[in-house]
């Protein structure tokens, strides 16, 4: 129908702007949208028709390192000592292990876990410097206990196979072979530390370690026993060397064993299938194009876009590691200032501030934590910053929670001694100041007394001269007249002499005053110099004392092992009594 359009448009244009016949609605967009939705639903359901090979066993390259911490490891037949060289070798092994899990166990009379199986070798490496023979609660060479604990770690991690590396200078072969034969799928390799000649063991009190008979103990490496132990365990044996040949052989054997285990485990597969759903989405694209209408895309974007959130700066490293992991990495690299800004954990943040020398910031990070360890570290930071009284209070709070904290008791005694020394020094300074004030007062009184005596002597001389003059006037007027000229001359001479005496006395008094002033100034400068030297000595003493505050992590391991050993002994005693 043309309607009113014929009144406003030319007749020639009407056929081009008006539709003369009825139109039918196009249903293709509806069908394409429905088909696209159906394909999307199927793709999200995750269709799959291809099975993926997946071994049922986890990574078989798990390694448990057993480090001997018996007293014989302090022998210096290899420099600087057996234990230090063994720690260097373990550190090299950790750096060269790119994958797999690693654990560290130390043993002497009993075995203790330093770190369980983990892929974070940096954590294990950071603990090596704290491993010393003195941290063990009981001495001996209980290799059997260490092997049993290694098997427990494997089973706790769900690993049916694994590698064990024993780093030692000797074993009790009869007892150890029984355990090695029962290891089954756990292979044992041995790294021998020491020489067949051996060397005496130095002790901290001086001299060398002796046995019950008084003979010097010289531990020697028995290569045959260690070789037999490694052969029984199905692994390899190497003596520690100055180069990397020993590590290369041990790691090559571990890698070969891991590859064999992986091939054997490929026959046991888990039921895993490859998801093919993403490929079906390619069929949705042409259907979406057919359904396209102007404005629909903008409407879809408005619906799909989420509500705006706060934006944060994102670094490349943030995609792969958390802030604490990045901070731990910087901490291990001794970049303590940067690590302190990255740590979220307040105790780690305080530790980083402490290592960086930022003691005030370390105290602030520990304010909200009221554990014995946190209060102990807070006291150390306060002591390092010179706040001894506050440090003493922190130590007392830590001891209220854990009265048997050995490091806290030790540092508390040091702080109390230093506070007593400071109190004595303050009392001595006050006494020196009072004595100097008394000396200055006595010197001033002496000067006043001398000036008064000088004035009295001058007045007596004037009075005496006046008396002589009056006596001469009364004797004889005639003689006075006749000798008037002589008397006047004598009087003038006497006056000159008196003036000369007065000027000489004044000059002497001025010289005495000047000497006294110079003496006083010299004493004052000497007192200032002595005071400055005393302050320097006090500052040096404080710095030396601050260096006595221990922050060695071996103390924590020592207390941990001692607690675990006491707990085990208590249980065993109860079992025997029962």
Per-residue pLDDT band for 266 (boundaries 50, 70, 90) equals: very low
For residue 259, the model assigns a pLDDT of: 57
Total tally of structural domains belonging to the chain: 1
Residue 97 lies in a domain: yes
What local confidence, expressed as pLDDT, does residue 147 receive?
92
**For the segment 428-450, what is each residue's pLDDT rounded down to a tens digit?**
766 666 655 565 556 666 666 56
Is the preceding peptide bond at 80 cis, omega within 30 degrees of 0?
A: yes
Question: Is 181 domain-assigned?
Answer: yes
Domain that holds residue 154: 63-265
Answer whether residue 359 is part of any domain. Answer: no
Q: What is the CATH number of the domain that holds 155?
A: 3.40.50.410
CA separation for the pair 414, 411 (Å, rounded): 5
pTM for the whole thing?
0.48
Q: Among 385, 393, 381, which residue's Cα sits nearest to residue 352?
A: 381
Q: State the average pLDDT over residues 360-364.
A: 86
Tokens found for residue 491? 């009087």
pLDDT tens-digit profile of 298-353?
655 566 555 555 555 556 566 567 777 777 888 888 888 888 888 888 888 888 88
Domain assignment present for 203: yes
Is residue 151 domain-resident?
Answer: yes
With respect to residue 432, please indicate whether it lies within any of the assigned structural domains.
no
Strand partners, 238: 191
380-394, 527-541, 553-567, range with greatest mean pLDDT:
380-394
Could you tell me if residue 198 is inside a domain? yes
Q: What is the DSSP string of 92-108?
A: HHHHH--SS-EEEEEES
CA angle 337, 343, 346 (to 5 degrees): 105
CA distance 559 to 376: 14
- Given a cut of 90, is residue 167 above it in pLDDT? yes
pLDDT (0 to 100) of residue 184: 79
- DSSP H helices, 291-366, are 296-304, 323-332, 336-342, 346-355, 359-365
CA 146, CA 152: separation in Å to the nearest integer? 10
Within 10 angstroms of residue 340's Cβ, the number of other Cβ atoms is 24
Question: Does residue 21 lie within any of the structural domains?
Answer: no
pLDDT band at residue 59 under the 50/70/90 scheme? very low
Considering only residues 133 and 475, tell me which one the structure prediction assigns the higher pLDDT: 133
Residue among 417, 395, 362, 393 nearest 544 (CA): 417
User: How many Å from the N-terminal Cα to the C-terminal Cα in the chain?
Assistant: 111
| CB-based contacts of 253, cutoff 8 Å, min separation 6 | 189, 235, 236
> What is the pLDDT of the chain when averaged over all its residues?
75
Percent share of the chain, pLDDT over 70 = 63
Taking residue 225's Cβ as centre, other Cβ atoms within 10 Å add up to 18
pLDDT digits (tens, 9 = 90+) for 446-476: 666 565 665 555 555 555 545 554 454 444 4
pLDDT in tens, 536-554: 665 665 555 555 555 555 6
User: For 220-257, how does the pLDDT look when each residue is reduced to its tens digit (9 = 90+)?
Assistant: 888 898 999 999 988 889 999 988 888 888 888 776 66
Q: Quote the pLDDT of residue 564.
A: 75
* Whole-angstrom distance, CA of residue 307 vs CA of residue 297: 18
- pLDDT tens for each residue of 90-115: 999 998 887 788 999 999 989 999 98
């Amino acid at each position: 129908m043309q309607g009113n359009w014929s009144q406003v448009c030319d007749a020639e244009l009407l056929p081009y702007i008006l539709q003369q016949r009825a139109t039918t609605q196009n249903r293709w967009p509806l069908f394409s949208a429905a088909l696209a939705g159906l394909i999307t639903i199927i793709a999200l359901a995750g269709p799959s028709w291809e099975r993926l090979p997946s071994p049922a066993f986890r990574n078989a390259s798990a390694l448990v390192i057993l480090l001997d911490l018996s007293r014989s490891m302090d022998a210096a037949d290899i420099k600087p000592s057996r234990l230090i060289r063994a720690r260097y070798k373990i550190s090299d092994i950790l750096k060269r292990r790119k994958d797999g899990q690693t654990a560290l166990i130390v043993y002497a009379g009993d075995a203790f876990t330093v770190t369980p199986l983990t892929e974070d070798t940096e954590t294990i490496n950071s603990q090596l410097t704290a491993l010393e023979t003195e941290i063990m609660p009981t001495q001996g060479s209980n290799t059997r206990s260490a092997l049993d604990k290694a098997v427990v770690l494997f089973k706790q991690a769900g690993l049916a196979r694994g590698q064990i590396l024993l780093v030692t200078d000797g074993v009790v072969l009869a007892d150890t072979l029984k355990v090695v034969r029962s290891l089954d799928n756990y292979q044992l390799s041995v790294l021998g530390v020491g020489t067949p000649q051996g060397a005496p063991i130095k002790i901290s009190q001086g001299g060398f370690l002796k046995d019950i008979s008084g003979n010097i103990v010289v531990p020697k490496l028995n290569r045959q026993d260690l070789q037999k132990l490694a052969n029984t365990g199905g692994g390899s044996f190497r003596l520690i060397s100055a180069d990397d040949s020993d590590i290369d052989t041990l790691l090559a054997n571990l890698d070969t064993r891991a590859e064999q285990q992986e091939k054997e485990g490929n026959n046991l597969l888990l039921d895993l299938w490859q998801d093919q759903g993403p490929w079906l989405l390619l069929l949705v694209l042409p259907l979406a194009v057919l359904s396209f209408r102007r404005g629909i895309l903008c409407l879809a974007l408005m619906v799909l876009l989420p509500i705006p959130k706060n934006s944060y700066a994102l670094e490349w490293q943030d995609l792969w590691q958390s802030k604490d992991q990045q901070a731990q990495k910087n901490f291990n690299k001794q970049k303590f200032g940067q690590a302190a800004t990255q740590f979220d954990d307040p105790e780690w943040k305080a530790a980083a501030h402490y290592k960086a020398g930022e003691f005030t910031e370390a105290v602030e990070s520990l304010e909200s934590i009221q554990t014995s360890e946190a209060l102990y570290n807070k006291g150390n930071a306060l002591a390092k910053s010179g706040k001894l009284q506050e440090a003493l209070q922190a130590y007392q709070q830590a001891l209220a929670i854990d009265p048997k904290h050995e490091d806290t008791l030790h540092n508390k005694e040091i702080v109390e001694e230093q506070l007593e020394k400071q109190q004595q020094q303050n009392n001595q300074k006050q006494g020196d100041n009072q004595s100097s004030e008394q000396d200055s007062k006595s010197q001033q009184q002496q000067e006043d007394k001398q000036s008064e005596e000088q004035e009295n002597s001058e007045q007596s001389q004037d009075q005496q001269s006046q008396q002589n003059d009056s006596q001469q006037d009364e004797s004889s007027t005639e003689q006075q007249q006749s000798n008037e000229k002589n008397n006047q001359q004598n009087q003038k001479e006497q006056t000159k002499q008196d003036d000369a005496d007065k000027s000489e006395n004044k000059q002497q008094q001025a010289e005495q005053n000047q000497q006294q002033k110079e003496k006083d100034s010299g004493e004052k400068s000497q007192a200032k110099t002595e005071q400055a030297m005393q302050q320097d000595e006090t500052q040096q003493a404080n710095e030396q004392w601050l260096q006595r505050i221990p922050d060695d992590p071996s103390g924590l391991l020592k207390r941990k092992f001692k607690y675990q050993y006491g707990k085990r002994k208590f249980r065993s005693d109860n079992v025997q009594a029962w």
